[in-house]
Structure 1
Amino acid sequence: MTLSTTVKVKAPVALKYAWIFSDGDRSGTRTYRVGGKGLKTVRLSTSVKVTGDARGWGAVRLVSPVKKTSGKVSFAVTCAGEGQTIGDVWDSVATSAEGADTPDAPATPPPTGQDDDKPAQNPVRKAAIVFERTTASKCPLTFKVHGYFEGLPAGAQTVQYRLVGAQEWKSVNVPADHGEVFTAVLETLEWDWETDRTSVQIEVRQPNGLRSNILYYFECGSPSDSERAGFGATAEKIALTAAGGPLVELVADAYLDAVQAVSGAQVALVSRYGFRTDLDAGPVTYDELYVAQPAGLAIDVHSMTGAQLKKLLAYKNPSGWVLTPSASLRYTVKDGAVTELTLNGAPVTDTQVIKIAANYILMGGWQGFPQWEGSTGVYHGGPDDRGALASYISKNSPVKAPKGDRVTIR
């Protein structure tokens, strides 16, 4: 297991510390030198090796420049299977430290009144957040953060959470009939040109310090140096082809993921227009995102009938491009007409109404394809397309390349 805590320091400084544990063990004193200037956050971690049933806690004791002890992080392991366990066999085997230029949240302490040898439960199994823009402009903007909590036990209860980097915990009341997934608007945030934020994440106040996915929005400012270094990674090269290919399929999946939960979108469509280069295998930097997809356009959702969609998809682009769909849609074009069209594996009828996500410029007829005449606006709250792609890669890292086979031309 890995235990960790964060320490805010005023750089430059040589931070001396040791890990202490509930069984009386402690690590040797370590030194972590923090360069630069200003307030910085350092994450201190230790690995704990367990060979049987075990429970206890670990904490960091600062030696210099101040003497202070962090909150305790509790853990418990129960080994299932045949045979008897040998009980409470564990040891600290390694410690490490890393720094960040952006503020991070301190470690979550055990709930008040919880015994160290009886760790509290983790009622929330999974926490996810979704972005909803409520203003028309790219910046300044106001947006809502929708929260989705899974795994809650039966009955009415309260979930405590906070934005990562904030100090104050907030609460949301969960009714008794919350179902498998409880959802609520957790925050309404306002960003302008002076903001120094490009991402949002929440953590839940429970012993495992559960955190949600990260949402990125880049239209009010550039990301920090630490964020620029990577938004997750690709497992392999994701190629851009003449018609679109795997990279544009990946972006379509990111579009749909960004707006589906709030809008009910069923598919996303993306034009090859504006894409410049492949994404190489490995960590994905902001510079790579910008080169691959520089536009920064907001994602909206419109609805149209199956017949209208077939007409749009059949358009013969002079550059040989196709409208690339998310994984939920597949189609075949033969002799200038769509001969096969399926949504989640089922044939699409001419009268069927489908909710489709795309950037508003494509919908207006400005990316090599006709205007979406006859479509109906459904939702206008999506993030920027580059932020959606960064959020998707971070959430699904390491990302594999789609096959590039969702469109067949005969």
Structure 2
Amino acid sequence: MGLSTKIGRRIAVLVAAVALASGTLASGAQAAPTPVAFGTVSASPKAQSGDCPTAVTLSTTVKVKAPVTLKYAWTFSDGDRSRARTYKVGGKGLKTVRLSTSLKVTGDARGWGAVRLAGPVRKTSGKAAFSVTCTGDGTGTGDTWDSVTTSAVGVGDTPAGSPTPAPTGQDGETPAQNLVGKATIAFERTTASKCPVTFKIHGSFEGLPAGAQTVQYRVVGTQEWKTVNVPADHGTVFTTVLETFEWGWETEESSIRIEVNQPDGLRSNVIHYFKCHPPVGGAQVGVAAEDIALTGNGGPLAELVADAMLEAVQSLSGAQAALVSKYGMRKGLQAGPIKYEDLYGIQPAGFAVDVRTVTGAQLKKFLVPTSPNAGVATPSAALRYTLKDGVVTGLTLNGTPVSDTQVLKIAINYQMSGGWQGFPQWQGTSGVYYGGPDDTGALASYIANHSPVQAPAGDRVTVQ
């Protein structure tokens, strides 16, 4: 080997060493994978015997170097798997994230679940095994368990100044006092109204004591309590996003409700959404205190539907009123139990509830029917008007006259605003909220939360 060859090789080695030390070696080199370490997997409860349906929560922790985005799914012994999820881990350094899934079990079951990471590296956790033995009449056959919710929560990242947990009672788990006077949840759809659907659940807590507080809640039917840290300046009502759900045809859920971990067992209102899974036939949703009639113009039944649509979107959209037509409504409600199938005689199509802005002058035009069979555009309780010879007069909101230039937010389904239910198309208006539920689900929620429901007077529109 010649001197020049030896010198050339030494220079090449030196250049490579310098490049490696500075991180600039690019030809075929790859960065070291982000380290990931799974913790112990667990099932809660691991084994149980009792009434079904019941719930089982599977969970594990994963330690990862932040910042990074976790991509994962739960996989199960029966061959099923959850939808792929992502969770962004912020900050720097090693962080721990707890991954959980809640199973709905309807019959005798024995199985396991594990987390399968797709990013930042491909890795699978250990298996969380569980068993359920059903007693009584609630046993099922066939596919007796499914994952209904999943969650990812950072562990140990409590910021400075966070509230201390509430004192607990004798069982060491339930808080010793009722921190929350009222809990309310609201639905916000973030995808199209068809199935599958993604939606957020906003939670509002009222009656909290002064100062920073810690509130624990869980979705009814699940096992895991989750924590909300309420700041000291929470005001009379504290509102935050509690959950984000993805429902598909396989989810087999049609309602959401939360309960608060406190001595009185406080529960929120219930929210129904029927686009992915129709309710079980014969099940009761509520009670009618009296007959609620459907008249030629819509009448009390249409007013009830309008009130339900407004309540479904008002807290998140700021809607001031709702409008419905009797289009599609086939029969009224009789006094007594109201079953889910009764609702499909009122709102069979399940149109999404949207919110649009409209001026007083525009609204007066839109309230005039274009078809003699349309009846009248029936409003929610705060809005009233008179219709005479195709002209709207006496339009009021909360008893105050509506001017032509006044801008209102009106909840309405897209079929009516599109001009397909015997009324003019809402041209020249703007959509401001598209997060509402289906109108059938909105009606079910209203009836469930206000039972026994009274018949509205049917006097919000005067026809002369």
TM-score (structure 1 length as normaliser): 0.73
Deviation at 1:114? 2.4
CA distance in 1, matches of 2:314, 2:283: 28
8 Å contact from structure 1 (residues 198, 218) kept in 2? yes
Counterpart among 401, 417, 433 of residue 379 in structure 1: 433
Q: Give CA deviations for 1:372-400 in whole Å, capped at 9, x if unaligned.
A: 01111100000000100000001000000
1:9 to 41, 47, 50: 50
Q: What is the CA deviation profile of residues 86-122 of structure 1, one whole-angstrom value per residue up to 9, with x for unaligned ones?
A: xxxxxxxxxxx9979999xxxxxxx875247x98210
Distance 1:224 1:172, change over 3 A: same
Q: Measure, in 1, the Cα distance between the counterparts of 2:212 and 2:137.
A: 39
> Cα offset for 1:137?
3.7
Matches of 1:158 and 1:185, distance apart in 2: 15
1:409 aligns to what?
Answer: 463
Query: Which of 325, 332, 335 is equivalent to 2:386?
Result: 332
Where does residue 191 of structure 1 map in the other structure?
247
Number of aligned residue pairs: give it: 318
Rounded Cα–Cα distance in structure 2 between residues aligned with 1:113 and 1:123: 12
Instruction: Name the structure 1 match of 2:261.
Output: 205
> Residues 282-301 of structure 1 correspond to what in structure 2 (within 5 A)?
282-301=336-355
Secondary structure of the corresponding residue to residue 300 of structure 2: helix
Q: 1:114 aligns with which of 124, 148, 169?
A: 169
- Residue of structure 2 in register with 1:148 after alignment: 204
The corresponding residue for 2:233 is 177
Distance 1:115 1:267 in 2: 48
For 1:6-405, list aligned pairs within 5 A. Answer: 9=50, 38=107, 113-115=168-170, 120-224=176-280, 228-319=282-373, 321-405=375-459
C-alpha separation in 2, matches of 1:191 and 1:393: 23
Conservation of the 8 A alpha-carbon contact between 1:313 and 1:323: yes
2:50 is matched by which residue type in structure 1? V
Conserved in 2, the CA contact under 8 Å of 1:9 and 1:39?
A: no
Change (3 A) 1:11 1:310: closer
> Structure 1 counterpart of 2:364, which letter?
K
C-alpha distance 38-237 of structure 1, shift in aligned 2 (>3 A) = same
Deviation at 1:174, TM superposition (A): 0.8
1:18-40 deviation digits (Å, cap 9, x = unpaired): xxxxxxxxxxxxxxxxxxx8259
Aligned-partner SS, 1:250: helix
Question: Deviations 1:39-67 (Å, cap 9, x if unpaired)?
Answer: 59xxxxxxxxxxxxxxxxxxxxxxxx99x
Change (3 A) 1:10 1:151: closer
Q: Look up the match of 2:161.
A: none
Q: Distance in 2 between matches of 1:352 and 1:179?
A: 31
- Paired AA for residue 124 in structure 1: V
Specify the code of the residue in structure 2 equivalent to 1:259. V
Q: Which structure has the higher relative contact order (CA within 8 Å, separation 6+)?
A: 1
Contact 1:162 1:168 in 2 (8 A): yes
Shift of 1:232: 1.1
Q: For residue 362 of structure 1, what is the amino acid of its counterpart?
A: M
Runs of 5+ consecutive residues of structure 2 not aligned to the other structure = 1-47, 54-105, 110-132, 146-165
| Residue identity matched to 2:236 | E
Task: Report the residue type matching 1:216 in the other structure.
Answer: H
2: distance between equivalents of 1:10 and 1:167?
15
| CA displacement 1:256-288 (0-9 Å, x = unmatched) | 000000000000000111000011111110111
C-alpha distance in structure 2 between counterparts of 1:320 and 1:113, whole Å: 59
Report the counterpart of residue 67 of structure 2 in structure 1. Answer: none
> C-alpha distance in 2, partners of 1:407/1:188?
39
| Distance 1:112-1:8 versus aligned 2 partners, 3 A rule | farther
* Cα offset, 1:360, TM superposition: 0.9
Calculate the TM-score normalised by the size of structure 2. Answer: 0.64
C-alpha distance in 1 between matches for 2:309 and 2:276: 20
**Structure-1 separation of matches of 2:297 and 2:168:** 61
Report % sequence identity: 65
Q: Is the 8 A contact 1:10 1:38 kept in 2?
A: no
Q: Work out the CA distance in 1 between the residues paired with 2:340 and 2:461.
A: 29
Shift, 1:292, TM fit: 2.1
The answer (yes or no) to whether the contact 1:231–1:390 under 8 Å persists in 2 is: yes
Deviation of 1:317 (Å)? 3.0
Compute the displacement of 1:309 (Å).
Answer: 0.4
Q: CA RMSD in A?
A: 2.8
Instruction: Give 1:246 shift.
Output: 0.4
Residue 199 of structure 2: SS of its match in structure 1?
strand
Question: How far 1:183 moved relative to its partner?
Answer: 0.5
- Could you tell me whether the CA contact under 8 Å between 1:316 and 1:336 is conserved in 2? no
Q: Distance in 2 between matches of 1:213 and 1:98?
A: 28
> 1:125·1:151 contact (CA, 8 Å) conserved in 2?
yes
Contact 1:298 1:382 in 2 (8 A): yes
The answer on whether the counterparts of 2:274 and 2:440 sit within 8 Å (CA) in structure 1 is yes
Cα shift readout 1:289-343 (whole Å, capped 9, x = no counterpart): 1122201110000001000001111335321511000001000012221120000
2:13 equivalent in structure 1: none
Give 5+ residue unaligned stretches, structure 1.
1-6, 13-36, 41-64, 67-96, 104-110
Separation in 1, partners of 2:275, 2:376: 28
Computing the radius of gyration from Cα coordinates, the structure with the larger value is 2
